[in-house]
Amino acid sequence: MGPVFLFDIDLTLLRSNGAGGAAMTQTLHELVGVEDGFAGMHFGGRTDRSLLREALTRCGQPDTEFDRFCVAFEQRYVGYLERELPVRRAELLPGARAAIDEALKVPGARVGLATGNFRRAARAKLDHFGLWGHFLDGGFAEDGEHRNDLVAAAIRRVAGPGWHGPVYVIGDSVHDITAAVANGAVAVGVCTGGDDEATLRQAGAHAVFADLSAPGEVLRQVLALPSA
Range 65-76 burial, b when 16+ CB lie within 10 A, else e? eeeebbeebbee
Q: What is the mean pLDDT of each run of 10 residues along the chain (228 residues)?
A: 94 96 92 80 82 85 82 94 97 98 96 97 98 98 93 95 90 97 97 96 98 96 88
147: helix, coil or strand?
Answer: helix
Query: By C-alpha distance, which of 44, 137, 121 is closest to 80?
Result: 121
- 3-state class (DSSP) for residue 169: strand
Phi, psi of 207 (to 5 degrees): -155, 150
Let me know: does 140 contact 161? Beta carbons within 8 Å.
Answer: no
- Which are the contacts of 12, defined by CB distance < 8 A and separation ≥ 6? 93, 96, 170, 171, 172, 176, 190, 192, 193, 212
Domain spans in the chain, listed from the N-terminal domain onward: 4-15+92-224, 19-87
Q: If we measure between CA atoms, which residue out of 87, 28, 113 comes closest to residue 63? A: 28
For the 4-15+92-224 domain, the top CATH level (class) is alpha beta
**CA–CA distance, 152 with 146 (Å, rounded to integer):** 10
- Measure the CA–CA gap between 12 and 217, rounded to whole angstroms: 17
CB atoms within 10 A of CB 220: 11
Q: What is the pTM of this model?
A: 0.94
pLDDT of residue 197: 97
Contacts of 86 (CB under 8 A, 6+ apart): 128
pLDDT of residue 228: 63
